[in-house]
Amino acid sequence: PFWTKPQIIRTDDGRNFMLFREGYHPKLKPGLVRRRIEKLRTYEGKERDLRHSKWKLNLICKFVTGYTVEDALQQLKYSKKAYAPVISKIITETAKKANDRHGVQPSQLEIAECFATRGRPVKAINIMAKGRFGRMEHPRSHVRLVLREIDFQLKIYQAYSKKEKLRWYKMQERATEEARQVAEEKAEEKALELEDKRRMEEIRKRES
């Protein structure tokens, strides 16, 4: 569509500039946006019985929700939260699952949902003075993560500034190029496997 592709402008000194169409874009109806999002593929990741508070884990989950996978991993890399590496590990494993199933690269995914819930706590004895004792609980938490494909055309349309539109457009080009390279590599691997299989069959026929 015209609102997702920039216009290339070439100056006299040979430099190129990308300019998106100016003007106000009407807000899309919620039903249209919802139907577009429902068609996208999603991938779910879980981690159970983490020895951490759900409140502290939810702080990290709320922080990364809405980011792309690459941006989220970059932000968690420099986070000082104790369980930031754990959330980073869940994101990485879920992105790997998407790549194994449908060949979707991390540059094509965003974090749609991430939240922590209360798990079953571990009970222990709390020793107190004068021979008394009580019960204490060590908290456990479960984390659920949902990665979703990025609808780049929708992102570009809904972006407010030209700078943000250009950012999403460059991300779309990079994601398309990565997907093309991965598809070529897989096709080449499949061709090599077929060639090896054919050679093995010829060797078996000669031996027989």
Q: Are 20 and 7 within 8 A, CB to CB?
A: yes
What does DSSP assign to residue 82?
A: T
> Which residue's structure tokens are 């779309």?
172
Q: What percent of the chain has pLDDT over 90?
A: 45
CA 19 to each of CA 66, 76, 164, 180: distance values in angstroms, whole numbers, following the listed order: 26, 33, 12, 26
Write out 92-147 in H/E/C secondary structure.
HHHHHHHHHHHCCCHHHEEEEEEEEEECCCEEEEEECCCCCEEEEEECCEEEEEEE
Residue-wise over 94-111: b if at least 16 C-beta within 10 A, else e?
bbeebbeeeebbbbbbbb
Question: Which residue spans within the chain are E strands per DSSP?
Answer: 7-10, 16-19, 42-50, 109-118, 122-127, 133-138, 141-149
Tens digits of residue pLDDT in 142-182: 999 999 999 988 888 888 777 888 888 889 889 989 888 88
Rounded to an integer, what distance in angstroms lies between the CA atom of residue 171 and that of residue 152? 8
Closest CA to 173 of 153, 191, 149: 153
Rounded to an integer, what distance in angstroms lies between the CA atom of residue 179 and that of residue 73? 20
pLDDT at 136 over 70: yes
Give the other-Cβ count within 10 Å of 21's Cβ.
Answer: 13
pLDDT at 203 over 90: no
pLDDT at 129 over 60: yes
